[in-house]
Structure 1
Amino acid sequence: MELKRFIKLMNLLLFIFSLCMKPTSVSASGEVMCIERERQALLKFKRGLIDDGDILSSWGSGKDKRECCNWVGIKCNNESGHVIQLDLNQLYAYQLRGKVSPALLELQHLNYLDLSGFDFGGSQIPKFIGYIKNLTDLNLRNSNFTGNVPCQLGNLTNLVRLNLNGNNGLRVKNIEWLSRLSSLKYLDLTGVNLNETNWLPQIMKLRLLNILTLSDCQLHDNTLSAIDFVNSSFSSLYYLDLSKNYLTSSFTFQWLFNFTRYANRVDLSRNQLDGPIPDAFGELISLDELNLKENMLHGGIPKSLGNLSFYSVDISKNNLNKPLVELFHNLSETYTSTLDLSYNQLSGPFPDITRFSYLIELRLNNNHLRGFIPQSLGQASSIENLYLSHNQIGGKLLSNLSVFSQLEGLYVDSNSMEGTITEDHLSNLAKLVELDLSFNSLYLKLRSDWVPPFQLDVLRLKHCNLGHHFPKWLQTQYGLYELDMSFASISDTLPNWLWSLPSLEWLNLSHNNIGGRMPDLSSEFHFHKFTDLSYNNLSGPIPLYAFRSMEVQLSKNMLSGSISHICRISYSIDIKILDLSDNQLSGELPDCWMNKTDHLIVLNLANNRFCGKIPYTLGALDQLQTLHLRNNSLIGDLPSSLRKCMELRIIDLGENKLTGNIPAWIGTHLRNLSIVSLRFNKFQGNIPPTICQLTNIQILDLSRNNLSGKILQCLNNFTSMVQRNSSAESTEFIDPDDKYFPSTIMLHRYFDNILVQWKGKESEHGKLGLVKGIDLSSNKLVGTIPQQFSDMRSLVFLNLSRNHLTGNIISNIGQMETLEWLDLSRNHLSGEIPNSLALLHFLSVLDLSYNNLTGKIPLSTQLQSFNSSAYAGNNQLCGLPLVECPEDAHGPVVTDHGNGNSVEEDDKFITREFYICMAFGFITGFWAIVCTLYLKHSWRSTYFNFWKNIGDWTCVTMAIYVRRFKRKFQG
């Protein structure tokens, strides 16, 4: 009896348990809750994807995978079993790519679709998504969609949230479909081009919006009218982001104050808002975050803002130009915790901020503040982060700085601070996390046994005076992540304890006088992200541990020995930048790059003593963008493996002993090259025609080789030399881990330089974006100068000297209007100097010497200003600054000045007596004409019309005769 009761009780419990279980599991009878039609649709969707990470391994046709409601990213209805959610967001999708299958139309009960983070290869958003009519959430963020947003999305009338953020190739031509989404509460179209739409009236119809983000949508307000925002107040909108657009002050502010009356966060940063900040901001009674950063606003802060209790205000990078004291007077004293007025033109003394009892962070850097920091600043005990850099605040650092007991970040870099920092200044700053005193005249005098009350994450003391020795108190900073003591007058040796700081990842000790050897502490050294010991006096070999950093910069030292021991590392190194230039390193280059540094972006070994061949394995660096091997003793041909380095932008192999032909694959494979320097080697043969495929090239230096053949006529394919645009001056990469340390630099930059023959002297150029030129000098090139050179209008220098070129200087050379340096010397050029050369107004260095040029040097202020050596060695060339041409004294000469005006010159009858008579006759005739014209109106009119018509001819003629007149008397 008891057993029967027990069995009944267990059956009852099992029944209750089965009711509570999710229907996505297989029932006791083996029934699958997943609807077969929808399961097949999901499998078709999967077949359209490439799943590199096997993210969708749970999706399949096997018996153990029949229950699609258990698949990753899938959620079914608890009762019907219909698929209601497909959520493959960025947690999974970073390895998913392909296309969206129309099989999703079978999921008509789907209300949540998240495909964010996919890579759909620039395809268009499928129109059929607009027919999954039960959708309430559609998230296609960062999915690499391009083209027009389909108007069929307007069918999704149940949609509550729509996110198309991060698809920068998307655009909308007709936005009327958006107004049909009457249930929409969340709309994010960041990066979608709305430039062709009348966007505002359609947005106004979405009365339930809570969050609206239209950042970087190319919005303009010049098409808006007052009727667009009549009765437009939204009581539900609390977040508005219109940043990174082209909004001005014309209508934007007018509709904004109605549209966002109840908003608590408004972001209008990075627009073109001009004029003063309107008083109407004070009517936004719920506003607690306001971002007007990077506009053109001027004046001050309106008094009406004093009625609001802000949490955060950012008006940085504008043109605010009122005294800072006045601005602070108009702000609310309560609840303002973050205030950023940096990068403006604020003037006057530092104000009293003690009344701002909740102020935590204050940024006033990069303004025009003057005077001294008041002692009352020390009473603002709530301050945690203070930025006063790049002003003209002088004086000593506050003696009572320690009263800032809540201070977490102190930034006073780039001021005129002076004096000595002692323990008393820092004794009470127990919460200090970041300290930046850079670019001041401060001397840190701290006891060697001092133990700080704080634990720093960031310490920047750039250009401070730390004395000759390393501060020993740094040994107590176990959490120190970033340490910058560059330009700090340190002349010590590197201490061993420096490498054992457990959290240190950013170390900059450059531009000191640190000497001695780098200690060999490979067992104690942990991974660094950034190590810069450049511009010191370090000597000896480079220890192995030094290569355990993301950026290794050891240039401008006296390091010696080989670096082949890098091959002994048994693991892959995560180096992105390796700069060992300007040392005394020797031996052959390592030949083990294939497994060690596959993330390397910059390799700079220039100005050392390396020998041997360029290793073949260097071609394994498929991420390499910059390669500097200049001024070593490298020999042999260029290894063909370098063709695999297709990301290369800069290749500098000059001043070596490299031989062979310039390979054709430089043009066919390395299409991103912007700088090619193979100067001062032993290359021979013709310049390969494929080099014309380098459309991004801005410096091509093949000088001082043994190249032969003709100059290519396709060089005008160099688009960057034809068009006026600037080029990147730095190699950049982003370290994603820096997001955990927002105070550090997230964008890493490496500034390249290149050695070129510039205006007759060898010099290194760091402003690569401004220098564009071609140097083919000191070779064995023959033939004529191609006329196509004249198409390169942004060329800054051209050096074809010391070749065997023949023919004329190209007639339309004047079209190269940015040319500053032209050297065609020591060739066999003939004919006259083209008159268009006089149109090169920026030309500062010219050398046409030792050719076979004939005729007269064209007259211009520019060409006559050069020294006679610029024209030397052309025996049949005459005219200033050389000897006078025979026709100048004995015959007429017709001179074309490049503007269509020709002037006949004939001065064989001109003598000194002629000029005296001409002057007397001019004075007499001038007054006679003036008197006559004064009396007779009709004659006066005819006279002035006559001179108006021939004015240009007269000016040119008189200029020539005046020059001759001076020459006659000087002679």
Structure 2
Amino acid sequence: MASFAAPVSSMDAAAALCLVLILATTTTSPVYGQQTNNGGCITKERDALLSFRAGIRSDPQNLFSSWNGRDCCQWSGVRCSNRTGHVVKLDVRNGLFLDDIYRSWYSENPHGMRGNISSSLVALHHLEYLDLSGNYLSGVDVPIPGFLGSLQSLRYLNLSSMDFHGKVPPQLGNLSRLLYLDLNNNWNHNSYGMMLHIEDISWLLRLALLRFLDLTSVNLSAIGNWVQVVNTLYNLRVLRLRRCGLVFPQTPTVHSNLTSLQIPDLSDTGFHTINPTYWFWDVGTIMHLDLTNNEIAEAFPDAMGNMTSLEVLHLGGNHLTSIKPEVLGNLCYLRVLTLWSNLINQDISQFLQGLPHCAWSKMELLDMSCTNVTGEIPRWINQWTDLSTLQLSSNRLEGSVPSEIGMLGKLKQLYLDGNYFNGSISEEHLDTLVNLEELDLSYNSLHLMISSNWIPPFKLRRAYFPRCKMGPHFPLWLNWQKGVVYLDISDAGIVDNLPDWFWSVVSNVQYLNISFNQISGRLPRTLEFMSSAVIFDLNSNNLTGTLPLLPRQLAELDISRNSLSGPLPRNFGAPFIEELLLSENSINGSIPTYICQLQSLLVLDLAKNLLAGHLPVCSEETKKLNRSIRALVLYENNLSGEFPSFLKSCSELVLLDLAHNNFVGELPAWLANKLPNLSYLRLRHNKFSGSIPGQLTQLEHLQYVDLADNRISGSIPHSLANLKAMIQEDQTIWNPLVWSYERPANPDTNDSPKYDDSLAVVIKGQDLDYTSTIIYIVGLDLSCNSLVGEIPDELTSLVRMNNLNISHNQLSGRIPEKVGSLRSLESLDLSFNELSGDIPSGLSDIMMLSKLNLSYNNLSGRIPSGNQLQSLIDPASSYIGNNYLCGTPLSRNCWEPDVTRGDIEEHQDEAKYFYLGLAAGFVFGLWLVFIIFLFRSCGGFAMCGAMPSCWARLPEAQGLALQLRRG
């Protein structure tokens, strides 16, 4: 965000001279002359100023508080000529916004004045200086007023950062006396695109006196002749065309008329070559050249060595290769060189040796961050005596930090973060750095060996030490850094109590991070005195107490994994907070309704606390919260009630985790319509009942669903194929779950919502925690419910799934034949159901599979072999409880070498007929013996009917038959 306003240092000598010439035309003296009758103020011009003020609806800086009385020349921002008495200057710029972009981003009214620009200003015929910058005096689709072209006396016009839209009026070409024109449109709350555009730039030809021109973020993509037009402005000294969408001519302009040009800024323009035939290479007056963030992918041209006036060279953010610093050997006035994010791929000593030796003692800023330089910082770095900024972040530098750096007495900014430095940093490195303001030693293996009674000679504004060993005791030298604005001592090995002076030292911070230490202490009851605070990260410590009253401007708060207790206050302040992370504490009571009033809230994480009761019912007046929130994480509490109805208004919700609570009732059918961006849904271990609503499958961004351990019944919906996020393998498709997870080294640039706490996922039978990698987890967990019916074939279309668990239900039927299509599966659990039939052979084609559980079903047949199934851990346990499975890894052998399901059914039929025939033969043989016995005893069948004595011997025959049956 700091890039939205040009730093003062970039207004080099040429721009400063331009301003001096302009300001020389004005004076603060009172007016004299016959035209004045209001105590030195011309009535017509006074009325014009009052009409301008009437168009302003809000004035948070109170710029108009002095606009009373008869003498308008004494009003704030108004200056008159001491010769004619006419108003010659009107300056109502929003100084707060332009001077502190980072802080104003989170302020209630970052744009200062609001209203419109009254056409009454055209009455100020003698106005030479007009500055309205940083104010919101436009609106949606409101262009720059064309009537400003009537102010033909203007020499200075600044309309930067005002949110104008539409076409730049060509009437500005009437301002033929103009020396300074700033239409910088870089700051725009309504859109990130270029809202101003120019279709015909020929009106610039009439501004022959122009010395300063800034068209940053004004769309010039429709202009093909911009080089030719700009080339006519021979008085031009400062040219800024950053982010203009420039179209570069195929035939470069060889000769340039810009004989006075000192500062060309062509950063972020898509500039693709530094061909020496381009127009600015032969301008010998250039002192400041900015080609940052372009597409240049070649070596330095030799022509660059001829720009002997060059003092500032910005080439960062390109793709330069084979960089030979010797090309710059003649640039003896070089003071600033930025090469960040180019691949230098050299030893740092070798590269620095190649830079012009005649400039070593003049060099003020050197930025070689992210350039893949290696080796150790040379000890002769102390010869760069004027160096005030040294940035070597994110390289492969190693060894110890030389103590000679401590001899650079003018050093203000030292960034050594993200390397492989080791050893210690002692007072010797820091004792003489009296001007040091910014120090970043983070993400190295450094140990700060500083005595407890050392008094630093500097006053740091930015201090970054994450993963540097500063402990175990709290670094007492920080007590002398009362002006610190950004402080990060996270993961620094501190095991100590928070000192009493700490909150006083950090009273002016905007960014504070003491996370991942073992810092103890009780939080103060209020932090409202920290009026500048924007980001607090205190997570993973041993802090106690209750949640304090928070600073009003606070945007992000993380006190998770501490020992906070007590209830949440009914009103904890921070009405503009965006991220509130309080998980893994011992906070009890209920969630206050104040949550409903947090209109900017994006992330709310209260997981793993002792909260109970129902979620608050937000009134219609407070449901603005619901439109912004993106992540609601409440798992492992004792919350109850039905599915939260206030979520109907949470149209931006991406992540919802209500697991391990006591919620009841059915899942609502409005989920798909009201939560179109929902990607992560975790409701496990509650008491939800009813069936799975078919509308749930209409959520095209839904990639993780966990409804396990509930009381859900019915069947699995056949509309699973609608879950596009579980099907599409194109990673370029927009995924609302993708956020910024890791805090960048410079928090100024962090303007994206994030959720960097861990999310619990049950996969492979384990509870695993994920942070940024959650975007790669695609899963469906319906286990431990009362689902019935068959597994729908549509489930096999969810090819991105890496976790599928539908165990412990009452599912029947067969495993879908196309289960092998789920090539991304790492874990598959179908255990404890009533599934039957054979195991599809395609299961062996899932190469990612590492956890398989098909136990306790009614599966039969030979277990498939080959590929990944042979490498499962404890594979036999995957199949137990299925009495008709056979083959490896079970000890039960199959009957045939290649037994199929048909073979088993055929053998089962043969066995059935065999036993039936055996029983029939036994009965027939028994009766045959019985009959023979009768014949022998009674002389034949025919005699039995006439001889009752034969029937009398039947019991004897029956006894014989019984003996035969037993024998």
**Alpha-carbon deviation of 1:659?**
0.6
- 2:633 aligns with 628
Among 827, 839, 849, the residue aligned to 1:821? 827
Alpha-carbon distance change, 877 to 480 in structure 1, aligned in 2, over 3 angstroms: same
User: Secondary structure of the equivalent of 2:36?
Assistant: helix
CA distance in 2, matches of 1:643, 1:238: 58
- 1:926 aligns with none
CA distance in 2, matches of 1:831, 1:83: 94
CA distance in 2, matches of 1:285, 1:603: 57
Among 564, 583, 586, the residue aligned to 1:584? 586
- 1:307 aligns with 330
**Alpha-carbon deviation of 1:658?**
0.8
User: Any conservation in 2 of the 1:558–1:584 contact (CA below 8 Å)?
Assistant: yes
Letter in 1 for 2:388: I
Letter in 2 for 1:17: T
Can you give the 5+ residue segments of structure 1 that lack an aligned partner in the other structure?
1-12, 59-63, 417-438, 894-971
Among 39, 44, 51, the residue aligned to 1:25? 44
Alpha-carbon distance change, 854 to 409 in structure 1, aligned in 2, over 3 angstroms: same
Q: TM-score, normalised by structure 1?
A: 0.69
Among 355, 365, 368, the residue aligned to 2:393? 365
- Deviation track 1:84-127 (CA, whole Å, cap 9, x = no partner) reads 99999768994899999999999999998979765977659699
Among 321, 340, 343, the residue aligned to 1:298? 321
Alpha-carbon distance change, 875 to 74 in structure 1, aligned in 2, over 3 angstroms: farther
User: Any conservation in 2 of the 1:605–1:628 contact (CA below 8 Å)?
Assistant: yes
Larger deviation, residues 124-133 vs 673-682:
124-133
- 2:804 aligns with 798
**Alpha-carbon deviation of 1:163?**
2.9
User: Secondary structure of the equivalent of 1:684?
Assistant: strand
- Deviation track 1:656-711 (CA, whole Å, cap 9, x = no partner) reads 11111223444333444332221111111233444455444332222222223442
- 1:262 aligns with 285
Alpha-carbon distance change, 20 to 568 in structure 1, aligned in 2, over 3 angstroms: closer
- 1:493 aligns with 497
User: Any conservation in 1 of the 2:232–2:258 contact (CA below 8 Å)?
Assistant: no
User: Any conservation in 2 of the 1:172–1:194 contact (CA below 8 Å)?
Assistant: no
User: Secondary structure of the equivalent of 1:25?
Assistant: helix
**Alpha-carbon deviation of 1:586?**
3.0
Among 341, 366, 391, the residue aligned to 2:368? 341
Among 715, 726, 731, the residue aligned to 1:724? 731
User: Secondary structure of the equivalent of 2:252?
Assistant: helix
Letter in 1 for 2:268: K
Residue correspondences, number: 823
Can you give the 5+ residue segments of structure 2 that lack an aligned partner in the other structure?
1-31, 96-108, 903-967
- Deviation track 1:942-967 (CA, whole Å, cap 9, x = no partner) reads xxxxxxxxxxxxxxxxxxxxxxxxxx
User: Any conservation in 2 of the 1:365–1:391 contact (CA below 8 Å)?
Assistant: yes
Residue 324 in 1 paired to residue 348 in 2?
yes
Alpha-carbon distance change, 183 to 465 in structure 1, aligned in 2, over 3 angstroms: same
Alpha-carbon distance change, 107 to 400 in structure 1, aligned in 2, over 3 angstroms: closer
The aligned runs of 1:778-793 (5 Å cut-off) are: 778-783=784-789, 785=791, 789=795, 792-793=798-799
User: Secondary structure of the equivalent of 1:228?
Assistant: coil
- Deviation track 1:245-272 (CA, whole Å, cap 9, x = no partner) reads 54434x6554265375533222222233
Letter in 2 for 1:603: L
- Deviation track 1:458-504 (CA, whole Å, cap 9, x = no partner) reads 45554455555445555454434454444444444344333344735
CA distance in 1, matches of 2:642, 2:493: 45
User: Secondary structure of the equivalent of 2:611?
Assistant: strand
**Alpha-carbon deviation of 1:827?**
4.4
CA distance in 2, matches of 1:195, 1:105: 32
- Deviation track 1:306-350 (CA, whole Å, cap 9, x = no partner) reads 322123211122211223223323232243211111222223342
The aligned runs of 1:740-755 (5 Å cut-off) are: 750-755=755-760
User: Any conservation in 2 of the 1:607–1:629 contact (CA below 8 Å)?
Assistant: yes
- Deviation track 1:63-88 (CA, whole Å, cap 9, x = no partner) reads x9xxx99999999999xx99999999
User: Any conservation in 2 of the 1:864–1:880 contact (CA below 8 Å)?
Assistant: no
The aligned runs of 1:308-707 (5 Å cut-off) are: 308=331, 309-329=333-353, 330-331=355-356, 332-351=359-378, 352-374=380-402, 376-397=404-425, 400-401=428-429, 404-409=432-437, 411=439, 413-414=441-442, 439-447=445-453, 451-463=455-467, 469-472=473-476, 474-501=478-505, 503-505=507-509, 506-515=511-520, 518=522, 529-538=534-543, 541-542=545-546, 544=548, 551-560=556-565, 562-564=566-568, 566-567=569-570, 575-594=577-596, 599-617=600-618, 621-622=625-626, 623-692=628-697, 694-707=699-712
CA distance in 2, matches of 1:73, 1:451: 44
Alpha-carbon distance change, 658 to 443 in structure 1, aligned in 2, over 3 angstroms: same
Letter in 1 for 2:352: F
CA distance in 2, matches of 1:808, 1:82: 93
Letter in 2 for 1:842: M
User: Secondary structure of the equivalent of 2:366?
Assistant: strand
CA distance in 2, matches of 1:174, 1:57: 31
Letter in 2 for 1:341: M
Residue 286 in 1 paired to residue 289 in 2?
no
Alpha-carbon distance change, 716 to 241 in structure 1, aligned in 2, over 3 angstroms: farther
Letter in 1 for 2:185: N
CA distance in 2, matches of 1:742, 1:469: 26
CA distance in 1, matches of 2:829, 2:119: 64
CA distance in 2, matches of 1:511, 1:33: 60
Letter in 1 for 2:417: S
User: Any conservation in 2 of the 1:716–1:788 contact (CA below 8 Å)?
Assistant: no
Larger radius of gyration: 2
User: Any conservation in 1 of the 2:517–2:540 contact (CA below 8 Å)?
Assistant: yes
CA distance in 2, matches of 1:848, 1:451: 67
Identical-pair percentage = 32
CA distance in 2, matches of 1:876, 1:101: 89
Alpha-carbon distance change, 669 to 493 in structure 1, aligned in 2, over 3 angstroms: same
- 1:760 aligns with 765
User: Secondary structure of the equivalent of 2:604?
Assistant: strand
CA distance in 2, matches of 1:206, 1:888: 91
CA distance in 2, matches of 1:395, 1:733: 27
User: Secondary structure of the equivalent of 2:313?
Assistant: strand
User: Any conservation in 1 of the 2:45–2:123 contact (CA below 8 Å)?
Assistant: no
Among 842, 845, 848, the residue aligned to 2:848? 842
Alpha-carbon distance change, 744 to 397 in structure 1, aligned in 2, over 3 angstroms: farther
**Alpha-carbon deviation of 1:718?**
4.4
- Deviation track 1:113-168 (CA, whole Å, cap 9, x = no partner) reads 97976597765969999999989899776666778x69988987969847363466
- Deviation track 1:590-645 (CA, whole Å, cap 9, x = no partner) reads 344356x5554433221122222223259754444332211112121134234344
- 2:941 aligns with none
CA distance in 2, matches of 1:835, 1:135: 86
Q: Tell which has more relative contact order, 1 or 2 (C-alpha 8 A, sep 6+).
A: 2
Letter in 2 for 1:511: F
Among 165, 175, 194, the residue aligned to 2:185? 165
- 1:241 aligns with 265
Letter in 2 for 1:821: S
CA distance in 2, matches of 1:531, 1:451: 26
Letter in 2 for 1:241: D
Letter in 1 for 2:777: V
Letter in 2 for 1:612: G
- 1:963 aligns with none
The aligned runs of 1:123-202 (5 Å cut-off) are: 123=141, 161=181, 163=183, 165-166=185-186, 177-179=200-202, 181-183=204-206, 185=210, 188-191=214-217, 198=224
User: Any conservation in 1 of the 2:615–2:644 contact (CA below 8 Å)?
Assistant: yes
User: Secondary structure of the equivalent of 1:513?
Assistant: coil
User: Any conservation in 1 of the 2:411–2:435 contact (CA below 8 Å)?
Assistant: yes
CA distance in 1, matches of 2:608, 2:507: 34
Alpha-carbon distance change, 748 to 803 in structure 1, aligned in 2, over 3 angstroms: closer
User: Any conservation in 1 of the 2:424–2:447 contact (CA below 8 Å)?
Assistant: no
User: Any conservation in 1 of the 2:199–2:220 contact (CA below 8 Å)?
Assistant: no
